[in-house]
Amino acid sequence: MQLTIPLDKMTTADKLRALEDIWSNLQRTPDEVPSPAWHADVLQARENRVREGASQFGDWADAKHRIREQTR
């Protein structure tokens, strides 16, 4: 199926909502979403940085709020 989305006519907020809707749908069947092998390496490196105190985890809701504020 080919889907045409009017990206040029959508606001940034509309695009982010569309991404969230798609991601929510994909999360319903996580076993069907392939993960590239390099993802494991990236996750391990990030875990190491958190363990070493070089990075920290943030709340996803807060991150989305900050992103939305930047696009206004």
Residue at 14: amino acid letter = D
pLDDT above 90 for 47: yes
* Torsion-angle region of 40 (φ positive above 0: left; ψ -120 to 50: alpha; else: beta): alpha
Dihedral (Cα; 10, 15, 21, 26), 10-degree rounding: 120
pLDDT above 90 for 17: yes
pLDDT-derived band at 32, boundaries 50, 70, 90: very high
pLDDT above 90 for 22: yes
